Amino acid sequence: MPVSPPRESEKMVPVIRALQTMLSDGTKSFPIYLGYLAADQLKSVAEVPSFNPNSGNADIARNVLNPPIKNWQRPVIPEKWQAIRDKFSQPGELMPNPVLLAVADVAHVHVRQQILNGQATEVFEISVNVPAAQGSKPLWILDGQHRVEGVSQSTNSSNPIPLVLLHGEASQAYSPAQFAKVFAEVTTYATPLHELHEHWLQYAFKLGAYQDAAGGTSTSEWKAMTTVAMLCEHQNVGPSHVTNPFYDKVQFNPDPTKLLAAAGGGFSYTSLGLKEIVLGQYFSRPGSSLGPAVVADQIALAVLALSRNVTTPTTDSAFFGDASHRQKYLMDAYLVGVLTYLLKHGVPTDWDSVLQALKFNASNWDVTGWVQSTGGNFGNVSRRVANKVFEDMFAKGALGVSSDIPSWLAGDGAELTLLASDPGRGGARRNRLETVLPINGTKPLNIGAARRLKLVGHSINVGNLRIVDESRPLGNEFNLSSLKRGVILPQAPGSLRLLVGAEYYGGSRSQLKINITWS
């Protein structure tokens, strides 16, 4: 049967011939069209709403902060579409895999059911207007951008490409957020999104953890990411509109070269890494009443104050120094401290006064002389110690120790507390003898008749503690776990020698020998 020549309108406007089916999620129906269109025609009406691979971090942050977000897919990879172009320019190669499309602009897409001999058929004709030069195209490619580009650039560019089109003109079933969700889901079965892209995509469309809570209230996750995006996008902060050190420096673009230091050589953060700190230390905690814009400004102002108050030469500083001096765990801990201060005390009159009360200006922040390592297990201990110390001191707003913070981190003033009491029922409340011992040297401890011995605490600068019976170093009777529960000592008189090893920030260590006697 001869094929009818295309109508005049079809010479000007690409027409997709398709079958329609409906999917349902139980509450709403979603029209889906299954059809085909020549690769070169498809390229003329479909595009990928992708961000530019050279986009600055602030550009992406601004994009996600100001809906409707325009550029949310990943950029095309030239090597991929070029390989497809070369492959499908060869004889014997066919492209049967469908691409997934969505309608971005319903005003330029028209669906009509095909009528044959006066009877409606199961075929639908979808005409798509070709945009003017430089205009946005009416279709989005959700999956298959490299196939469309590659085949359209091949010697067989007129070959049809199978397609699935999501379009609900009448029911308004679809939304840009739904398209983004579909894109994020289908792409995980091919090449997963970079985690930074995945998170700001979900944030922009309020998906996953960023979806509004019951009643339409914003989640803590959403507030935290909003803070980070504002911190990256705002050029100036505070009432005096000072230059924001984090402007364009927080990494939103997955390109590794976009991870930049905000101040000196320090405070380099991905949007996801910084969001986790802001979330964990502020918005997920009770009492977090400040909004994202205020928190973003205060983080920037606190880092600027830090740069003014650290008197150690910049290149040697743990906060701003070069690769051999800077300490990521101390930068993280500083932000932990700042957020803790905001949570406990609100916005300070000025951060300089806060830092000077904690002797930041009188401390030596070149820690390379005593830090052995912050890698491996040392890293876990160092992170834990730094966070606890900064959180505690910023919460108090005072140093709380006779030395300065770097010395405290290294183990200066470290101590543990032992409680001796009667071993019988209720003995913990009788004949109590609580003793605080510095973790260094050799110390005697006579506990008299109080034979129940318990470790009740240690200073927060202790990251790891190991306790053994010197006479039985492999035994468990007097190890850390046992002493935390409480140990009943043998009948009097008796003696015991405990060896205590403590580990601090950066692998620093000290040892205490306790000669315990009872009668």
Whether 12 and 41 have beta carbons less than 8 Å apart is answered as: no
What confidence tens digit (pLDDT) does each residue in 273-296 have? 999 999 999 999 999 999 999 999
Q: Please, what is the average pLDDT of the chain?
A: 91
pLDDT > 70 fraction of the chain, expressed in percent and rounded: 95
At 75 the pLDDT is 87
At 486 the pLDDT is 94
At 169 the pLDDT is 66
At 93 the pLDDT is 87
Average pLDDT over residues 452-473: 95
- Sign of the torsion formed by the C-alpha atoms of 500, 484, 451 and 417: positive
Average pLDDT over residues 120-130: 91
Least confident of 131-140, 210-219, 333-342: 131-140
At 426 the pLDDT is 57
At 244 the pLDDT is 98
At 117 the pLDDT is 85
Does residue 191 surpass a pLDDT of 80?
Answer: no
At 193 the pLDDT is 83
At 72 the pLDDT is 84
Q: Which residue has the tokens 């300065």?
A: 404
Does residue 3 surpass a pLDDT of 70?
Answer: no
Query: Phi and psi for 393 in degrees, rounded to 5?
Result: -75, -35
Topology adopted by domain 415-518? Immunoglobulin-like (2.60.40)
User: What are the residue boundaries of the structural domains of the chain, listed by start?
Assistant: 8-198, 212-403, 415-518
Does residue 7 surpass a pLDDT of 60?
Answer: no
Least confident of 158-172, 257-271, 360-374, 485-499: 158-172
List 125's β-bridge partners, or say none. 17, 112
Whether 187 and 202 have beta carbons less than 8 Å apart is answered as: no
Instruction: Give the pLDDT band of residue 361 (cuts 50, 70, 90).
Output: very high
What confidence tens digit (pLDDT) does each residue in 34-85 have? 999 999 999 999 998 889 999 999 999 999 999 878 788 888 889 999 999 9
What confidence tens digit (pLDDT) does each residue in 386-435 have? 999 999 999 999 987 778 999 999 999 999 999 999 887 655 566 789 99
- Among 449, 447, 464, 443, CA closest to 515: 443
Q: What is the value of pTM for the model shown?
A: 0.86
Distance CA 90, CA 84 (A): 10
Radius of gyration of the chain (CA): 33
* Strand order from edge to edge, sheet including 487-488: 433-438, 415-421, 452-458, 487-488
At 147 the pLDDT is 93
Total residue count of the chain as it appears in this document:
519
- Among 156, 145, 142, 37, CA closest to 85: 156
Average pLDDT over residues 497-512: 97
Q: Alpha helices of 439-519 — where are they, by DSSP H?
A: 480-485
- E-strand ranges in 182-265 read 236-237, 242-243, 261-263
At 515 the pLDDT is 97
At 514 the pLDDT is 97
Residue 428 has a CB neighbour count (10 Å cut-off) of 17
